[in-house]
Amino acid sequence: MTNVFKRLINKLLDAIYPKRVKCIICGGELNTDERNAICPHCYERLPFISDKACIRCDMPLAEDDYSQTCFNCKRHNYLYTAVRSVFRYEGNIRACIYKFKYKHQEFLGEYFSEFLVRRFARLDWNIDYVLPVPLHTARLKSRGYNQSYVMAKPFCDKLGLEILDNVTRIKDTPSQTNLGHKERAENVKDAFEIADKSMVKGKNILIIDDVYTTGATIESLTELMLNCGANAVYGLTLAHAIMDKDL
């Protein structure tokens, strides 16, 4: 490889993975030759979800819980086929996602997409379209980017999948941070619409989002997709919140 070609490749990589000299978690120095955002020390402590999780929504289960389904999925008959996540939504990952969404750390989308690709590779889902959860135009204007899309786009590029880009959020829903299951479901009810229903007829759809909490957002999109004739709908999220039984 010539030096000129190496420089061109490095410039391209810099555009995709901006060099960050400090770990976004601990602030420690990073090897500038690596295209990472988290140092090896912090990476080893990331809260990956183990195999001890709900077979439907992937919520982590307690070690002494010998059931296969979480209390949330037992109470609610979800329309989606299954959801899988990479991390428990806690600690350092929770802080990273906050920076990603609210501190203009858009470059993390490419980095996080690698985790989604690796999680998806362990599944046997046959997917026709990938649907990043849409943001309302007002929220998109305020934030500057859709965090779900900036993870989904490189995810699709790496796997040769196609983004379903004709779904929009027509309801500017308030923050769901402090809402329970019922309130979240009402908050996103009829919040989305699709321009061409025929595109999803008979298709398998994969919804990508940053965090799964009660499943209300994914369920709302699932209902829309199924009403348009989709065959099945799946979800893939970066993190999964540990739900309180009272929510």
pLDDT tens-digit map of 178-201: 555 566 566 677 789 999 999 999
Helix (H, G, I), strand (E, B) or coil at 192: strand
Looking at residue 30, what is its pLDDT? Answer: 85
- CB count, 10 Å around CB of 159? 15
What mean pLDDT is reported for the chain?
A: 87
Q: What is the pLDDT of residues 209-235, one digit of tens each?
A: 999 998 999 999 999 999 999 999 999
173, pLDDT greater than 80:
no
Which band of pLDDT confidence, cut at 50, 70 and 90, is reported for residue 46?
very high
pTM of the model: 0.86
243, pLDDT greater than 90:
no
- CB count, 10 Å around CB of 15? 9
72, pLDDT greater than 80:
yes
Sorted by sequence, the CB contacts under 8 Å of residue 201 that are 6+ apart come out as 228, 229, 230
Which band of pLDDT confidence, cut at 50, 70 and 90, is reported for residue 4?
low
Q: Is 160 left (phi over 0), alpha (psi -120 to 50) or beta?
A: left
Sorted by sequence, the CB contacts under 8 Å of residue 120 that are 6+ apart come out as 84, 155, 159, 236
User: Burial level of 226, CB count in 10 A (0-12/13-18/19+)?
Assistant: middle
Mean pLDDT for the stretch of residues 105-131: 96
